């Protein structure tokens, strides 16, 4: 597999690792999102122990406001963070 294909497979796998923990297996509950953000993105986002901050991130991500974060909403977050990282390295 190419690097991009490997990256895609890893992003899909990472989502399902957390989405399958409770409730709907294809979406992230707030608890699952917290686990994902802490374990996978904690270095970049800081610890999301702050409940108000987590509530805001969840609300912002849940763009169709159905109370869960689906794959499309998750991949949008990953794409945004990836763009920020790219900007950061491009400016160096
Ligand atoms: Ca949603």
The model's pLDDT over 47-84, given as tens digits with 9 standing for 90+, comes to 656 788 889 889 999 999 999 999 999 999 999 999 99
Provide mean pLDDT across the span 9-27: 97
Instruction: Note the pLDDT tens digit of each residue in 23-55.
Output: 999 999 999 999 999 999 988 877 656 788 889
Kindly report the backbone phi and psi dihedral angles of residue 91, in degrees, each rounded to the nearest multiple of 5, phi listed first. -80, -15
Q: Please tell me the distance between residue 9's alpha carbon and the centre of ligand 1 in angstroms.
A: 22
pLDDT at position 47, please?
64
pTM of the model: 0.86
Kindly report the backbone phi and psi dihedral angles of residue 28, in degrees, each rounded to the nearest multiple of 5, phi listed first. -100, 125
By CB neighbour count within 10 A (0-12 exposed, 13-18 middle, 19+ buried), where does 92 fall? exposed
Q: Please tell me the distance between residue 15's alpha carbon and the centre of ligand 1 in angstroms.
A: 14
What is the residue-wise DSSP string for 2-34? -HHHHHHHHHHHHHHHHHTSSS-TTEE-HHHHH
More confident residue, 9 or 44: 9
Q: Please tell me the distance between residue 82's alpha carbon and the centre of ligand 1 in angstroms.
A: 21
């Amino acid at each position: 597999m190419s690097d991009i294909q490997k990256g895609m497979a890893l992003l899909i796998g990472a989502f399902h690792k957390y989405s399958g923990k409770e409730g709907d297996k294809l979406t992230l509950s707030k608890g699952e999102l917290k686990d994902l953000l802490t374990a996978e993105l904690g270095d970049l986002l800081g610890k999301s122990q702050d409940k108000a901050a987590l509530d805001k991130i969840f609300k912002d991500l849940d763009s169709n406001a159905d109370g869960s974060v689906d794959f499309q909403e998750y991949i949008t977050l990953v794409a945004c963070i990836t763009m920020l990282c790219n900007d950061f390295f491009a400016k160096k």
